[in-house]
Amino acid sequence: MAGETPEHPVSLSALAETVLGQLESKAADYVFGGAGTEDTMRANEAAFRRWRIVPRMLRDVSARDLTVTVLGTELPAPVALAPIGAQTIVHPEGELAVARAAAAVGLPMAVSTVSSSTLEEIAGAGGGPKWFQLYWPGNRDFAASLLTRAEAAGYRAVLVTLDTFLPGWKTRDLQTAWQPFFDGLGIANYLADPVFRSLLEKPPEEDMQAAIGQFVMQFSNPRLTWADLEFLRSRTTLPIALKGILHPDDARAAREHGIDGIVVSNHGGRQIDGAIASLDALVEIVDAVGDELEILLDSGVRSGADVVKALALGADAVLLGRPYLWGLAAGGEAGVLAVLRAILAELDLTIGLSGHTRPAELGPGLLVAEPR
């Protein structure tokens, strides 16, 4: 209203282009890249474009309430920040800046196991609600230690990422021969953990390369099966959601194993080239377990309108990923805050303009699918 133009592009696509031109090339490849030909990364966004909103008129939408409760956490809107590792590759404050921005708008931040700061340090930044994302390590005692630390630090839920038990085929990273973890970035939670340190012959301060080697050994865990969930459940009282579910039978298995929720996700297209888009997988999963599990979705969410589409198709909330990282790269805490406020504002407006006042009112009747 004062005629002041925004410091950064309001359009997320324009923001992405700006950031792409600013970042160091290897960091840009890591942030913007996907698996293989990046077909699944493109499919995630295309899946949202195939659904069109059909608004309803002459409904009183003057008072709107976007609050929901997901995984035991009350949210001001059905949005949370997806876990993204090694955030200092785009900004020196990394996850700490993101935590402060998320707290400013009251949204939960899911903190990655491979964060640049420890989960305790991030919990103390901003004071907002936090969820802990677990990359389930090979050593069970180490896994239990991470969960104990998360509970002690006040985290309210655990998201267990299932789709990275082996690293995906990422051609951009292979071409640049670079992974942030091999430079010691994103492994703060490992280096600070007493169980992890007990696995080392020398402290990381004396032999960082050996610590990085132990990180590599712990990170990939292809032996995990559904039977291992009993161990996980016995080690925490927090709500547990399994992240990386794309098949309705896996959603049913999660229900049968007493899990609280799932995240329909293909890891932003970073693991399997040619995998189904998350939004395309959502409908069958909702049909299978929608009344019995809380269902979140990530991968491809780029706008408040995208959030509305996911909610209409049965998601209880969405996780926003790359866009807030673009905000971090562009302007630190202020950049993240600008992105989150834009998403929330568009979400509120889209719900109202479509003729609704609450997320619970959204359903499949709000959408039509474009012919393929």
Pairing of strands 317-320, 68-70: unpaired
Residue 183 has what pLDDT? Answer: 95
Structure tokens that stand for 12 in this block: 């997320």
CA dist 199 and 207 (Å) reads 13
Query: Residue 265 is which amino acid?
Result: S
pLDDT in tens, 168-224: 999 999 999 999 999 999 999 999 999 999 999 999 999 999 999 999 999 989 999
How confident is the prediction along the chain (372 residues), in pLDDT tens digits per residue?
A: 899 999 999 999 999 999 999 999 999 999 999 999 999 999 999 999 999 999 999 999 999 999 999 999 999 999 999 999 999 999 999 999 999 999 999 999 999 999 999 999 999 998 999 999 999 999 999 999 999 999 999 999 999 999 999 999 999 999 999 999 999 999 999 999 999 999 999 999 999 999 999 999 999 899 999 999 999 999 999 999 999 999 999 999 999 999 999 999 999 999 999 999 999 999 999 999 999 999 999 999 999 999 999 999 999 999 999 999 999 999 999 999 999 999 999 999 999 999 999 999 999 999 999 987
- 3-state DSSP assignment of residue 76: coil
**Burial per residue of 44-74, b for 16 or more beta-carbon CB atoms within 10 angstroms, e otherwise:** bbebbebbebeeeeeeeeeeeebebebbebe
Domain 30-52+74-359 is classified in which CATH homologous superfamily?
Aldolase class I (3.20.20.70)
Amino acid at 172: R
Catalytic residues: 267
Residue with tokens 């696995």: 199
Residue type, 69: T
| DSSP summary character for residue 6 | P
Beta bridge mates, 241: 159, 261
DSSP for residue 371? P
Rounded CA separation 310/13 (Å): 20
